[in-house]
Structure 1
């Protein structure tokens, strides 16, 4: 091979190499940047990419990527700075939890991993959710693998929680004590109502007047149930004479004003006209009873154990965090944007 031919081949190779470098350099730069640490926890880093995914996800969910809102300042910091600090704090805690899970050999089973894959495939294959899922990944800057990684980590943390709190149980004496000190929470009423809906503020005076007229009819001896069938605008209950069935506080699906009025009534008593966000109501209590300890024992047991587990885990997290070696990189944190 002549000297000229060798030079030509080398020159061609150099051109090809240059083209390849030009093509891949942005990807290399992006990869290096995304893998910079926003924090290091016990020697393990939280990458800029992972932080960015979680930050964008929270911004998108709660604030709709509203840059004007994020730039507002409160107590010397912008909302953006405060949210970044909160997200980083959450990721630091999660990293500590994952490390604790690893110490305890807590991992996902093949079946649990399969369930996550099936969940993602459902998003991808469902005609209604497919485009939305794709847009969501683009918005938060994540791939499917990134998204899967987040789900895996969340489930491992959930298994850690279940493992370390499994001995936080409720004794019979604790259950009985809770019941005795919360008896008013376990009163059940059976009530009926007549509703006069207000969908426009202009209707309010007329609807209130009508409600007062019907209330007077009841006071004059007319049947509550028949008047409910005739005048109530609650289509679900009117044919049953306004009967809502039995419920406890927080179970009616109606406003606090409605429940406060209902639970203040005695059996057979009729309320005055009560205003809620739905409109105006006339309420009649047809029965009221105190649930027994046996009726609510399982519910109380679950409540006590949930509270005990949360408190126990909170104290564990504080201990683990205090023992952890944590280093944050504020310059990397500041470089993350939406």
Structure 2
């Protein structure tokens, strides 16, 4: 092989390599940019890419657009406020993941497999498969990056369970809570006649009809028969409007306030709620015993104690953490 031939071959190879390199430059630049830190927590980086995935996910979830994001409240745009909140959340999650690592809290093979199976169900579902793919495109995430976010969330959940497992409620705490909240565990049994209002234009007519039926009840006609004839609650009308027993917090406020103010056998005036107009009749009242609600109270007290204790740990971990934020990187992110 002659010298000129060798030079020509080498030159061609260099040109090919240069062409490949030039073609790859945008991807290299993009990768370098995405790997920039929006924050460093105890020496560990939260990348621009991870922040962007979470940011776009929230924007997509709430259906926000640039016009909304550009609006200002208290001197800051919604975009700036949302970014700050997301960054704060990611910093907290990074601290939580570090605490989980200290305690050797990881996902089991079975837990990871369950995540993969769930993702595969999304992908292979004829209805949801396309929307899942579109969602990944919208938030700028690969399937692996999406899975990574799910894994991190589940590890944090396991951390919470581990560090709060000692926060239990004693029998005396449960009893004290019941005795000071007895009214919350009173039940009424009520029936109602509903006149639905789906259009504000029909409100006056529906209220008038409700008042007419109320007068029929006051004149001695059967509440149950009038419910069967006039109520627009398909689930209860054939039962004379019977809703069964319920306690506070299980009905809309206006309905609940009216029902709990009535004695057995009493009829309410016409009550307006978001559903329309109601006439209510209370048919029974009873007090739930401590044994009836022990498990419910135990669950509530322990949930409250766990949350309070965990928040105190988070505050401690945050104070101890070394955190550095990069506002210039944050500002470069947009939808």
Q: Provide TM-score, normalisation by structure 2.
A: 0.98
Tell me what 2:23 maps to.
23
Match of 2:140 in 1: 141
Pairs within 5 Å for 1:201-280: 201-252=200-251, 255-280=252-277
After superposition, the CA RMSD in angstroms is 0.9
How far apart are residue 206 of structure 1 and its match? 2.0
Match of 1:317 among 293, 304, 314: 314
**Structure 1, gaps ≥5 residues long:** none
User: In the TM superposition, what whole-angstrom CA distance separates every residue of 1:177-204 from its partner, at most 9, and x where no partner exists?
Assistant: 1111111111111100111122222222
Task: Using the TM superposition, give the Cα deviation of residue 3 of structure 1 relative to its aligned residue in structure 2, in angstroms.
Answer: 1.7
2:296 to 287, 299, 304: 299
Structure 2 CA distance, aligned partners of 1:156 and 1:258? Answer: 42
**1:65-98 alpha-carbon deviations (Å, 9 max, x no partner):** 4001111111111111111111111000000000
Give the Cα separation in 2 of the matches to 1:119 and 1:305. 30
- Aligned residue in 2 for 1:35: 35
Task: Give the Cα separation in 2 of the matches to 1:75 and 1:196.
Answer: 44
SS in 1 for 2:216: helix
The one-character-per-residue Cα deviations of 1:87-133 (angstroms, maximum 9, x if unpaired) are: 11100000000000000000000110000001100100001101110
Q: Which runs of 4+ in 1 moved over 6 A?
A: none
**Structure 2 unaligned blocks of 5 or more:** none
TM-score norm. by structure 1 comes to 0.97
State the partner residue of 1:194: 193
Residue equivalent to 2:11: 11
Distance across 2 between alignment mates of 1:166 and 1:201: 51
Q: Distance in 1 between the 2:30 and 2:45 partners?
A: 17
Is 1:86–2:99 an aligned residue pair?
no
Q: Secondary structure at the match of 1:285?
A: strand
Q: Secondary structure at the match of 2:127?
A: coil
3-state SS of paired residue (1:272): coil
Structure 1 residue 130 and structure 2 residue 123: aligned?
no
CA distance in 1 between partners of 2:329 and 2:159 (Å): 30
Q: Give the corresponding residue for 1:45.
A: 45
Residue 57 in 1 paired to residue 57 in 2? yes
